[in-house]
Structure formats: C-alpha cells, structure tokens
Amino acid sequence: MKAEAAAFIKPNDRLTSFERLEIYNRQYWFRVISAFAEDFPGLAAVVGDAAFEKLTRAYLADCPSQSFTLRNLGSNLETWLREHPEHAGKKVELALDVVRLEWAYIEAFDNAAERALTVADLGHLDGDSQLSLQPHLRLLHLLHSVDDFVIDVHRRQASQSVASNAVSGVKRARSRRVPVSVKRGDIFLGVHRYENAVYYKRLDREEYQLLRALEAEKTLGEALDQ
C-alpha cells in the first residue's frame, strides 16, 4: 500500500504519501458512521448507544457502501438485523419495526413523485381502471406503535444540529430510551411526502389492504373486492 500510495500522492515535509492517504481513509469512515447514526436514531434509542455502536460497525463490515450516495447505506439493514438478532438483544421485533419505519422515511423523502389524479380523472374511473401508487408512498404493517416515538426522536436529533462531516459528529448526544408508551399491537401506516415534508398516516386495515392490492397491480374493482 505504501508503494501504491506513493505512485499518486505526493509526500510533504511532515507526512509520507501513505500517511496522507490514511487521513482520508479515517475521515471516510467517520462520515459513514455518522451518516448511519443520522439515518437510524430511533434504532439507537431502542438498543442503547453502546449496542448501537457495535451494531453499526458490524453492519458496515458486512454491508459496506456500494453506492455513490450514502442515502443507500441502510438499505440492507432490516435483512441484516433479521440474520443477526443478537445486536438487538431482547427487543428484536421492536428494533425491526423502527428500522422499517426509518428506512421508509428515507425512501419517502427522496423517491420520485408522479402526476397525481385530478378531480376530472376521478370521473372516468371504473372497476377495470388500473391505478398505481406514488413511488414515495411506503406501506407498513408494524407490530408496535412506534410512529410517534420515531417522530419524537427525529425531531430531537434535528434540534441538536450536530456537525456530521467532522470527527465530533461520531460523538452523538445520548439517545433517549424507548418510553413505556411504545406498546405492542398491529398498526398500519402510509409513509408519504407532501410539499417536501414526510408524513406518517395511520390507516385502518381495509385502507391498507386496498392500497396493497393496488400496489400489486390489481384493478380498482379487484382491489375493492379484496
């Protein structure tokens, strides 16, 4: 590596070529770890800070960034956590719910938006009409009422204004642990974007099933029957 570094990085009077390369290597990992923490503060609050740090390093070792953007860093987290439940301790199901919601937030925030139906369009619909959902809409069936908790965690994170592109960004404020109010019970959510803000809308079971059917490319009549 020292020879490789010397081929394209100049040394200076204080550092060798390889030592200069190491600075960028360290800064890259600080940024990746910080970005992961910014995306999943709710998960950190569920498992605790010490466990979250171990989880972060283990996940990034198994699933390093393969994308030009750090936006996709957590795309494999749900699958990975199901395969490595020991990192969530006794709160695996709760942690998975929070991960799914936090990843849905990321997708809802920057996925595409297509032209919406107008009032005039509605007048032409019938049972054979084929509708599609907005790409930014994510549908979730969760086992715990984590939506209000995650909203609260993200609001507190935003108010902290931690510098994420500096070394100090890795030293996050201590996460608030999960309150008693996060209870077990089926909830159905639509996570979507409106005017550049992400919203969590609770759905009843029939609404959720209808949207799932449309997502599966059922006709409007088939979706209503289902």
Mention every residue, 6+ apart, whose C-beta is less than 8 A from residue 10. 17, 20
Residues 76-106: tens digit of each pLDDT: 999 999 999 999 999 999 999 999 999 999 9
Helices (H) and strands (E) in the chain, counts: 10, 3
Angle, in degrees to the nearest 10, between helices 92-110 and 147-160: 60
* Per-residue tens of pLDDT for the chain, all 226 residues: 899 999 999 999 999 999 999 988 888 899 999 999 999 999 999 999 999 999 999 999 999 999 999 999 999 999 999 999 999 999 999 999 999 999 999 999 999 999 999 999 999 999 999 999 999 999 999 999 999 999 999 888 776 644 333 333 444 555 556 654 688 999 999 999 999 999 999 999 999 999 999 999 999 999 999 8
Q: From CA 149, how far away is CA 155, in angstroms rounded?
A: 10
Closest CA to 97 of 59, 58, 46, 134: 46
Which amino acid makes up residue 127?
G
Work out the widest C-alpha separation in the chain, in whole angstroms. Answer: 76
Residues 116-144: tens digit of each pLDDT: 999 999 999 999 999 999 999 999 999 99
In which order are the strands placed within the sheet that holds 184-194? 138-144, 184-194, 197-203
Closest CA to 133 of 100, 102, 107: 107
The answer to whether 93 and 183 are in contact (CB under 8 A) is no
Residue 95 CB burial class (10 angstroms; 0-12, 13-18, ≥19): buried
pTM of the model: 0.83
